[in-house]
Structure 1
Amino acid sequence: MSTILVIEDEPEILEVTSVLLKSSGYDVIDARSAEEGIRMAGARADIDVVFTDVNLGHGMSGTDLVDRLRAQGSHAAMVVVSGDLDPFSGWTHPHAVFLPKPYGRRQLLSAIAEARGRVVEGLPS
C-alpha cells in the first residue's frame, strides 16, 4: 500500500481529499500546516507521495515546501494543488505535478499516478 502525506490548511478540503485517497486504497497521513508536514515527512521514510496546496499560509507556499523537502532528501512524488492559479498559467516546478482545484477522484488519482510515474522513470518530481 502506498502512503500519501496530505498537507492542507483548510480542514474541509483536507478531510475530503483524505477520504477520497483512503477509499482508493492509499494509506493517508494528514498534516494541517507546512510545519507539521515537514516534521511528518522527516519522521517517516514510507511516504511515497506528498500532496500539498500552493497556499499554506504562515509564510510558506506549497512550492517552498516541495523545495524544502527535496533539500532534506525526500524522494517522494510531489503534487501541488491550487484553486487560485489558472491551470493554463504555465505554472511548473521541476519536482511537482500541478493539479487545479476543484478536482474530483479521477483527476486526483491521475495526478498522483503522473507524479509517481515521474519518480519511477527517474524524472524530477
Structure 2
Amino acid sequence: MRKILVVEDEDAIREVVALNLRLAGYEVTEAASAEQALAVFSPSAGFDVAVLDIMLPGMNGFSLCETIRRDSASIGIIMLSAKTLETDKIKGLSIGADDYMTKPFSVSELLARVEALVRRVGRQGASSAAPEPDGRMVSGVFVLDQKSRVLYKNGTPIDLTQVEFQIMELFFANPGVALVREKILEGVWGENYFGDVKIVDVNIRRLRMKIEDEPSAPKHILTVWGYGYRWNA
C-alpha cells in the first residue's frame, strides 16, 4: 500500500484530505506541524508522497520541504498554500517540491495529482531509450545510471530528484531534439497532469544549477525560444 504524509495545521482540512486519501486506498500519516512530521519521517519510512501546507506553526512548509528533500530525492512533494503569488509557487518548486496547489482546492484534483506523483515515483525510470546492458545511458561526458538513479558528469556523481532524473532520461532518449514544454510535462508528469507548464522551467533551472559549469550560459540544456528545450551533450 502506498504511503502518504499529510502535514496541515488546520484540522478540518487535514482530516478531509486524509479521509479521502484513505478511501482511495492509501496509507496516510497525519501531522499538524513540521516538527510532528519530522518525528515520523525518515528515508526508511517509505513515504511515496508528502502533502505539505506552507503556513505551519513553528517551522514553515518551505523549510520542511527542503529538509525532506535533502533526506529523500525520490519522495513526491505537493505543497499547499493560501498564497497565490507566483513567487511563492516558484520558491516551492525551486526548493524541491514537485507540485503546488493553492487553497481552496478540489479534493478530487488533489487526489489526481497524488496519483500522478505515485505513478511517477513508482515508475523507476522507464525510458524509450535502450539503456546499456548494465543499466546505464551515456551521452557525452554524462552517464545516467538507472540502477542507482544517479547522474555522473566526468565520473562525478550528481544527485537528482526523481523528476530531474526523468527529465534527463527524456533528454538522453532524444539527443539534439527540440522538446516542447508540453511534451516534457506529459513525459514526466503524465498526460493527465493538471498543473502549470511553468513547473518544467523551474526544474530545468534546478538541473542547470547542478550540471552546467555556468548555469547562466548553459551548454547542455539549451533553450529553444518560444518552444522548449534541447539536450546537447
Band of TM-score, shorter chain:
0.7 to 0.9
Distance 2:73 2:105 in 1: 26
Q: State the SS of the aligned residue for 2:6.
A: strand
Residue 29 of structure 2 aligns with an amino acid whose one-letter code is I
Match of residue 111 from structure 1: 113
Is the 1:7–1:53 contact (alpha carbons within 8 Å) kept by the matching residues of 2?
yes
Is the 2:7–2:30 contact (alpha carbons within 8 Å) kept by the matching residues of 1?
yes
1:76-95 to 2 correspondences below 5 Å? 76-83=75-82, 85-86=83-84, 89=86, 91-92=89-90, 93-94=93-94, 95=96
TM-score norm. by structure 2 comes to: 0.47
Query: Relative to structure 2, which stretch is displaced further, 23-32 or 105-114?
Result: 105-114
Q: Structure 1 residues 44, 12: closer, same or farther in 2, change over 3 A?
A: farther
1:44-123 to 2 correspondences below 5 Å? 45-58=45-58, 60-73=59-72, 75-83=74-82, 85-86=83-84, 89=86, 91-92=89-90, 93-94=93-94, 95-96=96-97, 97-119=99-121, 120=123, 122-123=162-163
TM-score norm. by structure 1 comes to: 0.83
Query: Relative to structure 2, which stretch is displaced further, 7-16 or 40-49?
Result: 40-49
Distance 1:29 1:65 in 2: 16
Is the 1:4–1:26 contact (alpha carbons within 8 Å) kept by the matching residues of 2?
yes
Instruction: Give the paired residue count.
Output: 122
Is the 2:43–2:72 contact (alpha carbons within 8 Å) kept by the matching residues of 1?
no
Instruction: Mark the runs of 5 or more structure 1 residues left unpaired by the alignment.
Output: none
Is the 1:82–1:99 contact (alpha carbons within 8 Å) kept by the matching residues of 2?
yes
Distance 1:36 1:74 in 2: 21
Shift >6 Å, 4+ stretches? none
Match of residue 12 from structure 1: 12
Match of residue 34 from structure 2: 34
Is the 1:4–1:48 contact (alpha carbons within 8 Å) kept by the matching residues of 2?
yes
**Shift in Å at residue 112 of structure 1?**
1.3
Is the 2:43–2:71 contact (alpha carbons within 8 Å) kept by the matching residues of 1?
no
Is the 2:2–2:48 contact (alpha carbons within 8 Å) kept by the matching residues of 1?
yes
Q: Structure 1 residues 44, 17: closer, same or farther in 2, change over 3 A?
A: farther
Residue 82 of structure 1 aligns with an amino acid whose one-letter code is S
Q: Deviations over 1:83-116 (max 9, x none)?
A: 2x11x62512142110111122321112213433
Higher relative CO (Cα under 8 Å, sequence separation at least 6) belongs to: 1
Q: Structure 1 residues 28, 44: closer, same or farther in 2, change over 3 A?
A: farther
Is the 1:49–1:112 contact (alpha carbons within 8 Å) kept by the matching residues of 2?
yes
Instruction: Mark the runs of 5 or more structure 2 residues left unpaired by the alignment.
Output: 126-161, 165-202, 204-233
Residue 8 of structure 1 aligns with an amino acid whose one-letter code is E
**Shift in Å at residue 47 of structure 1?**
0.8
What is the aligned-residue identity percentage? 29
Is the 1:98–1:111 contact (alpha carbons within 8 Å) kept by the matching residues of 2?
no
CA RMSD of aligned residues (A): 2.2
